[in-house]
Amino acid sequence: MFSQIFILSPRGDTIINRDFRSDLPKSTPETFFRQAKTYSGDANPLFTVDCIQFAHIKRGGLYIVGTSRFNLQPAMSLELLDRLAKEIKDFCGVINEEVLRKNFILIYEILDESFDFGYPQLMATEQIKPLIVNDPIQPQPDSVMNSLRPKIQTFNIFVPNTIGSQAVQRSVLNKNQANEIFVDIYEKLNVLFNSSAYVINQSIEGCIQMTSFLQGNPPLKLALNDDLQIGRQQGQYSAGVILDDCNFHECVNANELDMNKTLRIQPPDGQFVVMNYRISGDYAAPFRLFPIIEEISSSKIEVTIKLKACFDAKIIASYATIRIPIPKQTANAYTELVKNAQQETAEYDSNKKMVEWQIKKLNGGQERSLKIKLTLQATQTAHTARKEIGPIAMNFEIPMFNVSRLQIKYLRIEERGNTTNPHRWVRYITQSSSYVCRI
Amino acid sequence: MAYFGNNPQRGELQELYADLNDLNFEKKKEAVKKVIAYMTVGKDVSDLFQSVIKCLEFNDIEMKKLIYLYIVNYSRQKPDDAIMVIQNFRKDVRKSENPLVRALAIRTFGCLRVPKLNEYLIEPLKDCIQDDDPYVRKTAVLCVPKVYEVSPEICPALLELLQKLLEKESNALVLANLIQSMREIEVVSGKQLINLNQKIIQKLLLAVDECIEWGQIFILDYLATYNPQDSKQAEIIIERTLPRLSHINPTVTFCAVKVILKYLDFLDNGELVKNLCKKVAPSLISLLSWNQPEVQYTILRNISLILQKFPILFENDVKVFFCSINEPYYIKYEKLDIMVRICDSKNFGQVLNELLIYLNEADPHFVRKTIKSIGKIAITYDKALDKAVSILVELAKNIQQPTEPVQELLIQMQLIYKKNKQMYKHDESLKIIYSIVDYANEPESKSACAWILGEFGEFIPKSVEKMKEYVDNFQMEDRLVQLQLLTSAVQLYLKYPSQCATLIQQLITSAKDSFNPDVRDRTYIYWRLLSTDPEVVKNLVCFNSGTFSNFSKDLRLWETQDLVVALENMGSISNLFHKLPHQLYKNIKIKINNQQNVKIYKGEEKPDTQAQDQQDENNQNNKKELQQQSQQQQLQDVDLLNFDEPSNNNNNNNNNNNNNNNNNNNNNNNNNNNKTDLFELI
């Protein structure tokens, strides 16, 4: 595993340097920095110089580097560095050069608990907290709030841009706050249509995420749909919700999931991903796109795109953006929205050769359309140019809606003798991951 | 003491010296902190050793941590002074009530790495291994390999203790560290330390459930190296590993996959194997959808390895590997590669339809890769041939510029023709492909054109004129093209002796004085042969019998015996480069396994692959017969086959590897902006 771990400033000065195995030359930080500077952009996360592996991540402008001369696992080594950065952040509040220089003793302590002989040991903030004796030294007063932020999992935490959550802005340290818990169900959609709006490929990547401010971290019981089924049999049809696969946070006991569709959770403080899931089966795509291309003359093309929102009228999608690449030989493009279009814009970007159509709000059941009139340069005919139109890519977010119909039936706090009933908030959010229509 | 350079000024050191010897505790602590700060930035503060270790007399854990940090760094420079610390360590280990202090002392002790100090370490280390507190035990267990590396001769007693501990340890974390440290000693010493029996396996499996994620990785990774005694045992281990497939940490999931795939070999129950494959596949696919592109890339690279042994895994899931529009290119390239590997008689239509769409993408390099993939499918799967060729020909019809994809198109068409010479003689496709030969501008594609001209000269209009054009520019061409032109011109000469007489004369005159010995030699051979007996040349150059059987081998990443080693190192960085560990690292020695048979897990009813295997076999037999008659032909075959691979590659272990390197190089050269290779080998 790792032979050394060091942290370098953006100028290449060593801030932290811990040698676990003494099997590599002392000059590795310089070797690393020289090599990292040869890249035009960011350096590759992993590279090899003279049989020495350098894995690194960049946080707050600093390089956090692990070296090894073993055949290490790339995914794991990057994950380890990332966890280390999270730990440092949990203790110090922020990661930047000043804070690290002030707290270097503390960071050596963290490093010694997290790694021994280069092997990862305890790497969760909560686990090592009792073993650390140094207190963080704060450069600015306001980061005290953040100083003992709970452990935040490395796994993709979704950040929605539609509904603001109070959960995100609050510190766990504040004792007077309400006793409550937030549960979010996020789904990211991948859909690929062909030109006649027929679905070629579709999948959902979803997760259940919790932000807990419960006092005393009581055990929870989370119940999901009764018709939930995990694992898909070939050619099987079922009316229920079928997850192709799912995985769970360490604090989740999923033994009862098959039997009565419940998860037992021992929640840590703050934000964590309870469960990730993946669905590949058919589902009703929330939007349908109908592109029509007409060759008006040999130098003129007209593209009409119809958009239909196929969900309940009570639900409102927001920030829908549709991007349509148009031929490189385009001389000019005019966009035409329907009359009286509200909260809707369409713009042609002549540098990127792209038309961007934005719709701020779209109720379910509604239809919108856009007409693009293209004039081509003389060098290309409409017949060959039309092939360069597309594929159309769409981005959107739909709050309080999920495609999979996975639902939280109830969330029970299993602590006896507690009279207060904490607030429980549930949100559903659907986002596009790759929503593409080929032409 | 130096006055200049990297060392602190004399004044600073003296000040620190004074502070360290101050009576005030806080002042001392501050001074030690300063010393550590100097140490971190690489300044030499070893002269303060004595003063620093004097501060150990305080029973303050924070102070201890600081001083230990200092000692670890300088013990090897000042071994004699370090001896003075030993008493302190021993006192801490024996007398301290606080497990933290005990563990801290033993951890630091292990890091000293001074041979003559190690003998003092043995007794305290023994105590710590038998400590009541698991935190101390876990630390002590990892100390043993540290000591073993420096002075192995004093360790036998410790190793025995470790083995005993393995029998009775119940704490999962200690067990995980124990396994890891014993494995490390096994690697260093070359002796087997861990004797697994049923009881220990049970315990390890139990520990996997209780352990923190990194411990799970250690244990699973170890289990993946073990060979179970029988089917029953394998079944139990697999069963206990299955829940790990749904762990949120991708490395844990991947290690579980590794264990399960390894143990499948030992199961007798075919039905069970199939069911397990169905469980493993979704987990691997999930790894692709939840993680950052970097992790996805490593998983994809490993999937192409797994596929060689387990084609059954993704039989019905080819859709998963379709590229989506917003992925980085390094992911797309891997997906293309995997799509070709998964392609079979059932899904080739689906795959080709998808590839057809990629041909419209904007990035020429990606299009080029797509064409290459279509070509590979056409060559490997006979059923897909017609459809693949029609796609390529359709593409050729619309070509108006000498772009990068055109070069690949010509190269692939040449390979397809080469394999199915008889089928395409009179085909319409030939004329369409011939109409774009003028767009060839790379050595490989030009020589492909020259090959087509020579082989199919009689079916192509104005072939002699075209050849004349090539011969006129002979001196400007690349060596690769020159060699092919020589052979092709001779072929054409044999077909049209009268029309080509001057042409061949001109060619020989300009080629016989070439600076390149290969070109010169080939010229002389043809020249002599032609001037003695053209009939002999005909036998030599225009051979129509026999197809090439070694095309399909191209898809195999590894030779059989290497595949075993590669699978053992699944997930590691060597696999990322599709190499074996010892090819990448000088310091790693591996046991070369001479196992020739690797069980391949195919799906059911694939008559067509079998048929092809049989065909391959027949071909090979044919070849053997032909071999004696036509040694020279064989030589030429090889030449023709290899000419799209660079000869400057040092790694001749297998051709496939070369091919891969070749691809990678191309990526880097052509696509600097896109950063095609995420992880770079320098």
User: Secondary structure of B439-499 in the HEC alphabet?
Assistant: HCCCHHHHHHHHHHHHHCHHHCCCHHHHHHHHHHCHHHCCHHHHHHHHHHHHHHHHHCHHH
> Per mean pLDDT, which range of A169-173, B190-194, B270-274 is the poorest?
A169-173
* Residue of chain A minimizing CA distance to B69: A108
Q: Is the confidence at residue B623, as pLDDT, over 60?
A: no
**Residue A311 token pair:** 């969900």
Q: Which of A72, A105, A115, A249 to mutate to test the interface with B (most CBs of B within 10 A)?
A: A105
Write out the H or E segment, with its range, that includes residue A91.
helix A74-92
Say which residues have a Cβ less than 8 Å from residue B272's Cβ, sequence separation at least 6: B235
Cβ of B75 under 8 Å from any chain A Cβ? no
CB B281 within 8 A of CB B321: no
Banded model confidence at residue B613, pLDDT cuts 50, 70, 90:
very low
**Residue B417 token pair:** 């023709």
Mean pLDDT of chain B, nearest integer: 79
Report the C-alpha gap between B421 and B444 in whole angstroms.
19
Type of residue at A166? Q
Quick one: residue A261, left, alpha or beta (phi over 0 = left, psi -120 to 50 = alpha)? left
Contact B248 A123 (CB under 8 A): no
* Residue of chain A minimizing CA distance to B579: A71
Q: What is the DSSP letter of B379?
A: H
Q: Which of B33, B36, B112, B214 to mutate to test the interface with A (most CBs of A within 10 A)?
A: B214
Confidence (pLDDT) at B548: 53
Contact B246 A249 (CB under 8 A): no
Confidence (pLDDT) at B583: 77
**Residue B605 token pair:** 């009813």
Report the C-alpha gap between A35 and A41 in whole angstroms.
12
Confidence (pLDDT) at B590: 58
What average pLDDT score do residues B499-520 get? 88
b/e per residue B488-520 (b: at least 16 CB within 10 A): bbbbbbbbeeeebeebbebbbeebeebeeeebe
**pTM, full prediction:** 0.76
Report the C-alpha gap between B421 and B379 in whole angstroms.
12
**Residue B138 token pair:** 């876990």
Contact B360 A79 (CB under 8 A): no
Cβ of B206 under 8 Å from any chain A Cβ? no
Banded model confidence at residue B9, pLDDT cuts 50, 70, 90:
low
Q: In what order do the strands lie in the sheet with A220-224?
A: A252-253, A262-265, A220-224, A408-413
Cα–Cα distances in angstroms (integers) from residue B583 to residues A1, B288, B566, B575, B657, in the given order:
19, 28, 11, 11, 11
Report the C-alpha gap between B234 and A427 in whole angstroms.
44
Residues in chain A within 8 Å Cβ distance of B586 = 51
Cα–Cα distances in angstroms (integers) from residue B352 to residues B119, B319, B357, B429, in the given order:
68, 12, 9, 18
Percent helix, percent strand, percent coil in chain B, to nearest 5: 70, 0, 25
Nearest residue to B217 (alpha-carbon basis) of B252, B248, B250 = B252
Confidence (pLDDT) at B652: 36
Confidence (pLDDT) at A161: 47
CA angle, B649 then B654 then B660, to 5°: 65
Nearest-neighbour CA in chain B from A142: distance (Å): 26
Top pLDDT among A5 and B151 is at A5
* Residue of chain A minimizing CA distance to B252: A76
What average pLDDT score do residues B404-422 get? 87
Greatest Cα pair distance in chain A:
81
Confidence (pLDDT) at B374: 93
Q: What is the DSSP letter of B247?
A: B
CB A305 within 8 A of CB A394: no
Confidence (pLDDT) at B286: 87
Nearest residue to B513 (alpha-carbon basis) of B502, B521, B504, B525 = B521
**Residue B166 token pair:** 């393995």
| Residue position matching structure tokens 């070797």 | A31
Nearest residue to A373 (alpha-carbon basis) of A438, A288, A305, A289 = A305
- The model's pLDDT over B75-100, given as tens digits with 9 standing for 90+, comes to 877 878 778 788 888 888 888 888 88
| Residue position matching structure tokens 């639900």 | A315
Type of residue at A363? N
Dihedral (Cα; A311, A317, A320, A322), 10-degree rounding:
0
| Residue position matching structure tokens 């070359």 | B190
* Residue of chain A minimizing CA distance to B324: A434
Strand partners, B537: none
Q: Is A426 helix (H, G, I), strand (E, B) or coil?
A: strand
Top pLDDT among B253 and B381 is at B253
Residues in chain A within 8 Å Cβ distance of B109 = none
What average pLDDT score do residues B527-533 get? 85
**Residue A160 token pair:** 């929605």
Nearest-neighbour CA in chain A from B425: distance (Å): 31
Type of residue at B277? C
Say which residues have a Cβ less than 8 Å from residue B424's Cβ, sequence separation at least 6: B416, B417, B430, B456
Cβ of B40 under 8 Å from any chain A Cβ? yes
Say which residues have a Cβ less than 8 Å from residue B439's Cβ, sequence separation at least 6: B399, B401, B402, B403, B406
Report the C-alpha gap between A330 and A302 in whole angstroms.
12
| Residue position matching structure tokens 């001779």 | B490
CB B470 within 8 A of CB B450: yes
- The model's pLDDT over A240-285, given as tens digits with 9 standing for 90+, comes to 888 888 888 888 888 888 888 899 998 877 778 889 998 887 888 8
Write out the H or E segment, with its range, that includes residue A428.
strand A423-437
Contact B678 A44 (CB under 8 A): yes
CB B68 within 8 A of CB A112: no
Confidence (pLDDT) at A338: 81
- The model's pLDDT over A149-192, given as tens digits with 9 standing for 90+, comes to 333 333 334 444 444 444 443 444 444 556 788 899 999 998 98
Residue ranges of chain A with per-residue pLDDT less than 70? 138-178, 233-238, 416-420
Q: Is the confidence at residue B2, as pLDDT, over 60?
A: no
> Per mean pLDDT, which range of B242-246, B480-484, B503-507, B595-599 is the poorest?
B595-599
Banded model confidence at residue B230, pLDDT cuts 50, 70, 90:
confident
Cα–Cα distances in angstroms (integers) from residue B472 to residues A399, B410, B461, B507, B509, in the given order:
70, 22, 19, 8, 11
What average pLDDT score do residues B234-258 get? 90
Report the C-alpha gap between B343 and B47 in whole angstroms.
68
> Per mean pLDDT, which range of A93-102, A426-435, B32-41, B541-550 is the poorest?
B541-550
CB B246 within 8 A of CB A248: yes
Confidence (pLDDT) at B662: 38
Q: Is A194 helix (H, G, I), strand (E, B) or coil?
A: coil
Banded model confidence at residue B352, pLDDT cuts 50, 70, 90:
very high
Report the C-alpha gap between B668 and A39 in whole angstroms.
13
CA angle, B504 then B506 then B509, to 5°: 105
- The model's pLDDT over B624-635, given as tens digits with 9 standing for 90+, comes to 444 444 443 333
Report the C-alpha gap between B605 and B520 in whole angstroms.
52
- Long-range contacts of the stretch B9-17 (C-beta < 8 A, 24+): B13/B45, B13/B47, B13/B48, B16/B45, B16/B48, B17/B48, B17/B51
For residue A368, report the phi and psi dihedrals to the nearest 5 degrees. Answer: -130, 160
| Residue position matching structure tokens 């033993």 | B106
Write out the H or E segment, with its range, that includes residue B387.
helix B385-397
- The model's pLDDT over B574-591, given as tens digits with 9 standing for 90+, comes to 888 888 877 777 666 655
For residue A184, report the phi and psi dihedrals to the nearest 5 degrees. Answer: -120, 135
> Per mean pLDDT, which range of A423-437, B8-22, B308-322 is the poorest?
B8-22
Confidence (pLDDT) at B260: 92
Report the C-alpha gap between A387 and A327 in whole angstroms.
8
Confidence (pLDDT) at B678: 43
Report the C-alpha gap between B94 and B469 in whole angstroms.
91
Confidence (pLDDT) at A420: 67
Alpha helices, H only, A116-235: 125-128, 144-147, 166-169
Q: Is B326 helix (H, G, I), strand (E, B) or coil?
A: coil
**Residue A74 token pair:** 């790339």
Query: Distance between the two ends of chain B, CA-based, in angstroms?
Result: 40
Q: Give the dihedral sign, CA B649/B654/B660/B664.
A: negative
Give one DSSP letter per residue of A283-341, joined into a string: ---SEEEEEEEEEEETTEEEEEEEEEE-S-TT-EEEEEEEEEE--TTEEEEEEEEPTT-
Contact B289 A278 (CB under 8 A): yes
* Residue of chain A minimizing CA distance to B139: A116
Banded model confidence at residue B383, pLDDT cuts 50, 70, 90:
confident
Confidence (pLDDT) at B137: 92
